[in-house]
Each structure stands twice: as structure tokens, then as C-alpha cells.
A and B are shown apart, each in its own frame.
Chain A
Amino acid sequence: MTKIVKIVKENLFTEAIILAYAVIFILKPETGMAAVSNSGYYLKEMLMIMPVIFVLTALLDVWVPKETIMKYLGKQSKSKGVILSFLLGGISAGPIYAAFPFCIMLHKKGASIKNIVIILSSWAVIKFPMLLNEVKFLGVKFMAVRWILTVIAIVIFSWIASKIVKDEDLLREPTFEPEGVIINRNACMGCSLCVKNYPELFEISSKKATVIKYDFPIDEIKLKKAIDNCPVKAIQFNKR
């Protein structure tokens, strides 16, 4: 019973839409039919492109050596850092909120504010697989001009941001870190790779990964694999 309530609560948006459709079909069937045919067009377009975009994004994510790129994002990095930041944002998988904790981690490792703004912005607007999608619907010229202008704009405003925001503004009080395995649920996008890597320790609940209560000794090799494979680096292990 509680499980049903939970499912109902998690999908309120979908249920509201279904309800709206039901009401419209009763009151104005023609409008309802028009809505269904509109939706059908977008559904068809999406189904043709979505699987391939997800696969392409995931392939780029696993093949581009992120660890190597991260070394070149510091303050002294200049133009090389800028280009690599664009690349890192452009190939990464996941929505922008997944980028926030990832960028905080990069900042702790020495990435400059400017490069972080570039990564966040390119993560949002210039995903490479998405550019292909943009060409399909809006044309090559539209995409190319928008892409060039956006890159120029990002270079300018990331520089402005680095003049206003200082490194100290990002430093927070050291938060209490409990020991054991922790998942940053704000970063997790529910890709379930951790569950595949270590099913005894992780599970997906409410579309996000969670740590199952464990009393067995942790297999550190398996855990390390799960941590390394997490595309948004949301898993942390604090040894006691």
C-alpha cells in the first residue's frame, strides 16, 4: 500500500496530464484528438533520435579520458584550459544539475572559476550529440551561427565571472562527513551503473541510487570500480 502511495506521489505531473486529457476528451473530443496528434509528432521525432543520442553521449563519456583533462584546468592553464573545459562540458552525460557537484570536485582539485563557468555553460548548451539534433530541426546554418556566438559569449562571460567571484566565495565550511559509503543524491542521475557494479551495496529507489544498509565487509575493489565508473562522481567512500 505504501508503495502505491509512493508511486502516485512521485508521478504527480504525469497523472495531472492524464487527467487533463481525460477531461478534454469528455468536453471537447476534437481538441483532444488534435492534442494527441500533436504529441504523436513529437513522440515519433523523439523515439527516432533519443536512443541514439543517449548511446552516443554514453560512449563519449566513457571514452574521453576525463582524468587527463582535469589536470589542465588550473589558473595557469590559459587557452588550453579553456578548450579542454569546453570539451569536458560538451561530452559529459547528464542534465546540468549533475554538473554542479562534479564542478565542485574539480574546483577542489584546482580548476579555476573561469573554467568551471565554461564547463557548466557548455554542459548546458553545447552538448555535441545535441548539436546534431539541432541541425536536423533548425538547419546547419542556424546551429553553426548559434554555436559560434554561444562559444564567444561563454568565453566573455566566464572571464567576467572570474573577475567578480573569487575562489573564497566557493569555499564552504567543512561539512561533517559521515564515514562509510555516501551518495550525493543531487548529482545522481539514476543511470544505475553502481548497481550493476556492486548490486549488494547499491540499489535504485525513487529514480536515484541509494546505499543498502550493509553489515558485511566492503569489497573495496568492487566499490572502487563503482566509484570510478559513476559518470557524475556522486559516490564517496570515507574510511573510518
Chain B
Amino acid sequence: MDIFTISIWIGTIIFLIFSLVKNKEKTKMALKMAFGMGKNMILSILSIILLIGLILAFLPPEQIAVFVEKQNVLVATIASAIFGTITLIPAFIAFPLVGTLVDAGVGIVPSVAFLTTLTMVGIVTFPLEKKEFGTKFTVVRNGLSFVFAIAIALVMGVII
């Protein structure tokens, strides 16, 4: 394990002990909740991981990097933003995946656009959002999030 993972573990364990001392009941509840959420997601997470492994076997990250590099930055960024909009990957798989792609040479700008739209804009969740908030709110929120995701990505390209 790298130093970073270890520090998250230590921090969480300290929090957990502190929580246990202060309120046993609440802590038990939190652990049950964590376990319940994990149990519920594990199968779909495993499937997504296997799918990513499969795609990367056919399309190695280096090839993706070469392909993305040939495109115009704006086109590549908008395309990856759209890709992020239609896919639904949990963030803790998305980070190592984007890490692999960036290491292989895929530009920061398209990667950030993908990361941001992945969680903030959703085609799959659109009907659910519409049902709760109505069409106007949903279109405005998703539209603005999409545009700003690209803006964030472009500004990041300048800074980093």
C-alpha cells in the first residue's frame, strides 16, 4: 500500500474509534450503512471493472493516447465530456482509470472533462431527475453543468 492509502485508513480508524467511544449506537449504524451500501454495489462494480479490463485489452491506453492526441483539443474535450455524460462509472473506479490514461499520455483537458461530466451530468439519471424536479430545472442544471465541465477542463489545461 502506498503512503496515501495508509493515511486514509489510519485517519478513518481514528475517526471510528473516536466515534465508538462517543456513541456506540451511532457507530454501529454507520458501519451497517457502509456494509449495506457496499454489498449492494459490489456486483455492479465488479462487472464494470471486468468490462474496463476487457476494453483496455483491445484498446491499450497508449493507443487511446495516440488517438486522442491526433484530435483537436476542443473536439477531444467535448467528445470525452459526452462520453462522461452517457457512462455511469462509480468515482472510485474512474480515478484509477483516468490515472492510467493520463500516465499513458492522454491530455489533462479531456480527462478532466470526462471526470466532471461523469458524476455531474447524467443521461441515465435524467428521467429520475425530471420526475422529481420537472423538465426545466433538469435541463438547466444538466446543461449548465456540461458547459462548465468543459470550461473547468480548459482552464485546468492552462494552469497545469
A residues whose Cβ falls under 8 Å from a Cβ of B = 11, 13-14, 17-18, 20-21, 24, 31-32, 34-43, 45-46, 48-59, 61-63, 93-97, 100-101, 103-104, 113, 117, 120-121, 124-125, 127, 129-130, 132-138, 141-142, 145-146, 149-150, 153-154, 156-157, 160-161, 164-165, 169-170, 172, 186, 189-193, 196, 207, 229, 231
| Complex: A138 Cα to B101 Cα, angstroms | 10
**Neighbouring B residues of A153 by C-beta, 8 Å:** 148-149, 151-152
Knowing that A17-B51, A42-B53, A145-B160 touch, tell me 12 more A-B residue pairs with CB under 8 angstroms: A13-B44, A14-B47, A40-B53, A50-B38, A62-B26, A95-B90, A96-B120, A133-B92, A136-B8, A146-B116, A196-B32, A229-B29
CB pair B134–A170 under 8 Å, yes or no, is yes
> Do A190 and B36 form a contact, CB below 8 Å, given A39-B53, A125-B116?
yes
- Residues from chain B with a CB closer than 8 A to the CB of A189 are 37, 40
User: A132's contact among B4, B31, B140, by CB below 8 Å, is which?
Assistant: B4
A94-B37, A125-B119 known; A169 vs B137 contact (CB < 8 Å): yes
A–B Cβ pairs within 8 angstroms, 26 of them: A32-B57, A42-B52, A42-B93, A42-B96, A52-B8, A55-B30, A56-B8, A58-B30, A59-B16, A63-B26, A101-B132, A117-B141, A120-B141, A124-B119, A130-B91, A138-B95, A146-B152, A154-B148, A157-B147, A161-B144, A169-B136, A189-B40, A191-B40, A192-B36, A196-B29, A231-B33
Interface size class of B (residues with CB under 8 A): 35 or more
Quick check: A136 and B155 within 8 Å, CB to CB? no
Closest to B90 in A: A95
**A51 engages B134 (CB within 8 Å):** no
Q: For the complex formed, measure the closest distance between the CB of B49 and the CB atoms of chain A, giving whole angstroms.
A: 5
Contact in complex: B16, A164 (CB < 8 Å): no
- Cβ distance A32 to chain B, nearest Cβ, rounded Å: 8
Given contacts A146-B152, A189-B37, contact A39 B91 (CB under 8 A): no
Q: Which of B33, B45, B50, B128 contacts A58, CB < 8 Å?
A: B33
Interface string of B102-122 (1 = CB under 8 A from A): 100000100010011001101
Most buried by B among A37, A51, A52: A52
